[in-house]
């Protein structure tokens, strides 16, 4: 049996072909209201179907935030399943923004939920939290590698509260974040054209203050509603700009519900990112 193409290679091709942009599918109650939709399962279904129709055939990456579906219970999860499957069928790569983190068989179960091809929630990649120890992520990393999927590990997040943990230093003098980044670099060693294990590094940071050369993708949330702009990317990411996957959610979604308006907003954002990253 032929081994599946690694996620890093698929992501590199998608970014080169469609532009360096990830759009989050975040069905905030406020966004549903702005679109004239109810904060209910019908509104959720319409919101997601419109976002997929508008974006999945032209944006490199879509990133549904699992929490906004989970709040509707099993019917919300059913919408998430359809959203992921339809987005992937239209050609977008899907990063499930779930930020799971646990140990042993529980971590393996989380990995299976999002990275096993037999799962109804199967995605191209998933976000995970390393704060029970990087080694506890091994079930997700191993399953991703075997199946050609990706994993994005929280490293330097866009929320200010994250610094108290991520900037803390270990006995060896490294920050917690740098320790995570170093482990990612080791796991990506030798991969071409790009490793499949990425880090989440906020575009809102004043500066990274860490070595981001992990030979893997850097998911950069924070464009738009959180205050970052494309002009901030060179300052934060420097020499690894080519590997950055800038992410925006409300910055595009607030232009809905018209399909044409969503497409135009995504195109403007992608062009702005390309201007500052040279992509």
CB 26 within 8 A of CB 247: no
Token pair belonging to 122:
């199967």
- State CA 5 to chain mean position distance: 19
Degrees, nearest 5: CA angle 83-100-62: 30
Token pair belonging to 59:
């944006």
Helix residue ranges per DSSP H, 103-170: 104-115, 138-147, 163-166
Hey, which bits of the chain come out as E strands?
22-25, 61-64, 93-100, 125-128, 150-156, 197-201, 218-223, 244-248
Candidate list 75, 99, 167, 242, residue with the active-site label: 99
CB 140 within 8 A of CB 107: yes
Distance, CA of 63 to CA of 43 (rounded, Å): 19
99 is catalytic: yes
Distance, CA of 70 to CA of 3 (rounded, Å): 33
Q: Which residues does the annotation mark as catalytic? A: 99
């Amino acid at each position: 049996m032929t081994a599946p193409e690694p996620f890093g290679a698929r992501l590199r091709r998608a970014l080169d072909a469609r532009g360096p942009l990830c759009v989050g599918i975040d069905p905030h109650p406020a966004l549903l209201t702005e679109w004239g939709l109810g904060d209910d399962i019908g509104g959720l279904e319409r919101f997601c179907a419109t976002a997929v129709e508008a974006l999945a055939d032209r944006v490199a990456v879509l990133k549904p935030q699992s929490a906004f579906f989970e709040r509707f219970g099993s019917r919300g999860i059913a919408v998430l399943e359809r959203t992921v499957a339809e987005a992937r069928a239209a050609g977008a790569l899907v990063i499930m923004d779930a930020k799971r983190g646990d140990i042993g068989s529980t971590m393996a179960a989380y990995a299976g939920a999002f990275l096993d091809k037999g799962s109804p929630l199967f995605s191209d990649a998933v976000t995970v939290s390393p704060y029970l120890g990087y080694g506890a992520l091994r079930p997700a990393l191993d399953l991703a590698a075997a199946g050609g999927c990706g994993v994005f590990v929280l490293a330097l997040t866009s929320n200010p509260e994250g610094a108290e943990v991520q900037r803390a230093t270990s006995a060896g003098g490294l920050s917690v974040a740098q320790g995570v980044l170093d482990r990612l670099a080791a796991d990506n060693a030798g991969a071409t054209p790009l490793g499949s294990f990425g880090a989440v590094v906020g575009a809102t940071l004043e500066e990274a203050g860490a070595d981001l050369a992990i030979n893997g993708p850097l998911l950069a949330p924070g464009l738009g509603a959180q205050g970052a702009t494309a002009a901030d990317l060179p300052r934060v990411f420097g020499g690894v700009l080519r590997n950055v996957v800038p992410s925006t959610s409300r910055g595009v979604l607030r232009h809905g519900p018209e399909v044409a308006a969503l497409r135009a907003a995504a195109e403007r954002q992608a062009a702005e990112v390309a201007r500052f990253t040279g992509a």
